[in-house]
Structure 1
């Protein structure tokens, strides 16, 4: 028998910091099995999509994004880092030169070293492997994307849902498990991300995964870790800067509300500078090397937009021929002014009153501003505002479903060129099926009025007609891209409505911060 002494309880502050694991987080429970099933279904869907075609298949001389990623593995394997962004006899920048930050180059090197060089060395042979396309190399290339998804995006999605669950004080018991399983499914079964990464062929899952992980870390009070993860996202794809105003506004607003704001800002700045220094270390030996990389990250010569992207510049170019009337310098100024002006209210709101929900809305509004108004926007850029929209799916299920549908529809011409229409239809149907599992009892938003339903229904019916017209009819020779333009204009109109709604919604949030107190220390 013991001495009879009773063990001292832990300090109150320790008890407050400990959060019980939600019941669905434990795989041994039915709810946990449901979350595991959602992840396995998302994995299976990715595998099935990866069996299909990809960007530029069999289309010389430049092929497409698949060839670009393969070529970057070739270059990083056979040339030193100092030449990765420099035009040399071994690295012709006119042929898919690297145009992403150093972390993408390191990722290309790792994938080439671990997957392609050991099992298909001819697929990454210097100069002789251009346009290399075999079933074996395609399988290896697909596995590089799948492994990246499993290592980065899947854990980030689980981390976010876990943090969001605990912050909302729901889901730790059995009553809220359906909502959190549904939220996880909505993030992992994002049809746009799956089709672009595992169909078209890219690695957005890495930069977006780092961003989702950074959001989760900041919501959990681990701001230094969150800043580190977001810096990784920025150093993987420069388009992650779409989220930068939201991170800056939220973190700066929280620092201003603490006892020593200067110290709080300095420690975040140190993390940012240190992370960038490590990522850019091979290029810090001279300013010339740094500028060589930077010049590749800002392709102004491509023009203010690409293809039929559903943003302001491309949609209004039907009336105003921006590229013909104005110089690149003027367009850079116009786009910068419009972007900053549209994102500033959202950023100011977070500086003034930082909160968890406000942060999520700010991420959406900031990325919306960049997509709609910034310079050099591609159809695939809609993935960036779509990610924070999926994180807000429980808060705004109607807006999220609405946005996802038109985001996917806006990429129809791109996916049609890639031969991914079957996958497009299948993922749209799967998304609709899983989306409808969240019934009215679990929705946090008020019921829609008849006018709102009509506002949604009429464009939807028009989009259904456009699907049929685009896939089955050919426009006249005088207007060969008429149907693409109609799709673009419809999607742009819906994006503008959604952007206005989410900006207004952010400013209507209460001033008091939600969740863990703002003074909680980083772990």
Structure 2
């Protein structure tokens, strides 16, 4: 049975039904401020003329996604009016009637069909193992479960509330098209995605270099060397036309109204500071803690004057600009340079030694993680941009499966603070345990006979994550000094998870270099 047969049979629809049923259980659960963000965007796009969409600021949650997503909200608003018209009034801030909640939750579940299609197409591209008759142990089936039941997407979209599944659906569809050598369709889908949410600029360098090198240049040799035979201007024009057409449809009306600077100011609000309110587990979290530790040590050694230091600006849980106390403060330009340097070897690799669509996928992962680790004002949810594509490689390679287990366990646990109410504690714990146990057991069975998936130190690190979870989720709320240090659990979680994410990034690069070396030999 081939992968295509597996996903078109009864198993894939059964998985889709099961996960949809699970999502419906969360309809009445806690939702974050992102629920009001999207309700407000429904009201803005439905009640106001297009010329005012990116100027409306009566709410703190102004429209700050690209225009194509604004048109997506506009379309949803015409369905929303049949549930409760009051949700479409801009002045009804923090409006959350039962009909509004029902519509918002159902809209996420329904638009997740794009993600379902993307997951199905990626499963069709998986290289199946020979000799296995058990459908449950086939790479395509394991990949379907890892994608459809991804813990991060479940809690971020269907409890916390966002439309990441809808967006990631376009990414998976685009990746599948490239894996199937349908590069123009893949480019079109990514162009649409980029105009839906600009965070996917993280992986745009991988797309640009891959398409230029492997689609616009044609070569006769098969050894992956630098030599190419011809450059197709026609193909380049075709790619450029696709990108330009999508951008014109998205930004065209606002350019004609002279509003492009206003739209861009909403999309790139650099005044929000280096880190999000809750630090993403990246290099800057480690940098912040080092700065704080040096400041504390300096005060105790009487090398620094405590009255001259910033008052806990980094650990106040607020979205704001701040200055470091000891280490040099970081500007947006510094983060841009660091990000570009971190992804340069990856994009150079697919230019000088292209290795097909899977080489592109590996480059995309490194671009996603490099941007996550060094970017400006990174959200913790952006780690999913690496976790989901890595699932594809994890079911095909033992080494990638080991990296996936470290990254997905660490990255998913770093999302725990998003659900901070006591009622959601059992939900996030149970869901993550189920997904993590399945990931370990399924991937171990899939790669049985090829050695251990994890190294001893990796096992120790992941066991330490259990201790961190118990300390932050169970013990800390019982301590009397929690009121004085409310940010401490977030800090511990972010710093500990930063180590795992940075390690996964380095392992992916080591894996890339090994493949380069083996190719040369």
Shorter chain as normaliser: what TM range? Answer: 0.7 to 0.9
| 1:110-155 deviation per Cα after TM superposition (whole angstroms, max 9, x unaligned) | 11111x211211122231x2111222211111011111102x1110
Q: How far 1:93 moved relative to its partner?
A: 5.5
Q: Which SS does the other structure have where 1:53 is aligned?
A: coil
Does residue 491 of structure 1 match 2:497? yes
Q: How far 1:330 moved relative to its partner?
A: 5.6
Q: Specify the alignment match of 1:469 in structure 2.
A: 471
Q: Specify the alignment match of 2:309 in structure 1.
A: none
2:155 to 186, 191, 195: 195
1:383-422 alignment, distance < 5 Å: 383-394=384-395, 395=397, 396-417=400-421, 420-422=424-426
Equivalent residues of 2:273, 2:377 under 8 A apart: yes
Q: Which SS does the other structure have where 2:291 is aligned?
A: coil
Q: How far 1:189 moved relative to its partner?
A: 0.9
Does residue 459 of structure 1 match 2:441? no
Equivalent residues of 1:23, 1:172 under 8 A apart: no
Equivalent residues of 2:44, 2:53 under 8 A apart: yes
| 1:387-426 deviation per Cα after TM superposition (whole angstroms, max 9, x unaligned) | 2222222122222122111111111112225953222112
Equivalent residues of 2:118, 2:173 under 8 A apart: yes
1:71 to 12, 15, 40: 40
1:233 to 193, 201, 226: 193
Cα distance in 2 for partners of 1:357, 1:179 equals 16
Cα distance in 2 for partners of 1:263, 1:328 equals 48
- Do the aligned partners of residues 200 and 276 (structure 1) sit closer, same or farther apart at CA in structure 2, a change above 3 Å counting? same
TM-score (norm 1): 0.84
With 315-324 and 176-185 compared, the bigger mean Cα shift is at 315-324
- Do the aligned partners of residues 500 and 230 (structure 1) sit closer, same or farther apart at CA in structure 2, a change above 3 Å counting? same
Cα distance in 2 for partners of 1:510, 1:329 equals 37
Equivalent residues of 2:406, 2:462 under 8 A apart: no
Cα distance in 2 for partners of 1:169, 1:386 equals 21
Q: Which SS does the other structure have where 1:377 is aligned?
A: coil
Structure 1 unmatched ranges of 5 or more: 1-18, 28-32, 56-63, 514-523
Q: How far 1:282 moved relative to its partner?
A: 1.6
Cα distance in 1 for partners of 2:251, 2:324 equals 38
Q: How far 1:363 moved relative to its partner?
A: 1.3
Cα distance in 1 for partners of 2:144, 2:488 equals 38
Q: Specify the alignment match of 1:296 in structure 2.
A: 266
- Do the aligned partners of residues 398 and 48 (structure 1) sit closer, same or farther apart at CA in structure 2, a change above 3 Å counting? farther
Cα distance in 1 for partners of 2:432, 2:384 equals 15
Q: Which SS does the other structure have where 1:324 is aligned?
A: coil
Q: How far 1:441 moved relative to its partner?
A: 5.0
- Do the aligned partners of residues 308 and 265 (structure 1) sit closer, same or farther apart at CA in structure 2, a change above 3 Å counting? same
Q: How far 1:194 moved relative to its partner?
A: 1.2
Cα distance in 1 for partners of 2:179, 2:413 equals 32
Q: Which SS does the other structure have where 1:308 is aligned?
A: coil
Q: Specify the alignment match of 1:59 in structure 2.
A: none
Q: How far 1:238 moved relative to its partner?
A: 0.7
1:188-337 alignment, distance < 5 Å: 188-254=148-214, 255-258=216-219, 259-286=230-257, 288-306=258-276, 307-320=278-291, 323-325=322-324, 331-337=331-337
Q: How far 1:488 moved relative to its partner?
A: 1.0
Equivalent residues of 1:23, 1:174 under 8 A apart: no
2:511 to 493, 500, 505: 505
Equivalent residues of 2:43, 2:89 under 8 A apart: yes
Structure 2 unmatched ranges of 5 or more: 220-229, 293-313, 315-321
Q: Specify the alignment match of 2:119 in structure 1.
A: 157
Cα distance in 2 for partners of 1:267, 1:170 equals 37
Cα distance in 2 for partners of 1:369, 1:21 equals 32
Cα distance in 2 for partners of 1:312, 1:439 equals 29
RMSD between aligned alpha carbons?
A: 2.7
Equivalent residues of 2:213, 2:351 under 8 A apart: yes
Cα distance in 2 for partners of 1:336, 1:445 equals 43
- Do the aligned partners of residues 345 and 417 (structure 1) sit closer, same or farther apart at CA in structure 2, a change above 3 Å counting? farther
Does residue 104 of structure 1 match 2:69? yes
Cα distance in 1 for partners of 2:90, 2:324 equals 42
- Do the aligned partners of residues 420 and 21 (structure 1) sit closer, same or farther apart at CA in structure 2, a change above 3 Å counting? closer
With 331-340 and 412-421 compared, the bigger mean Cα shift is at 412-421
- Do the aligned partners of residues 262 and 445 (structure 1) sit closer, same or farther apart at CA in structure 2, a change above 3 Å counting? farther
Cα distance in 1 for partners of 2:416, 2:44 equals 32
How many residues get paired?
Answer: 469
Cα distance in 1 for partners of 2:245, 2:393 equals 31
Misfit runs of 4+, over 6 Å: 326-329
Q: How far 1:157 moved relative to its partner?
A: 0.8
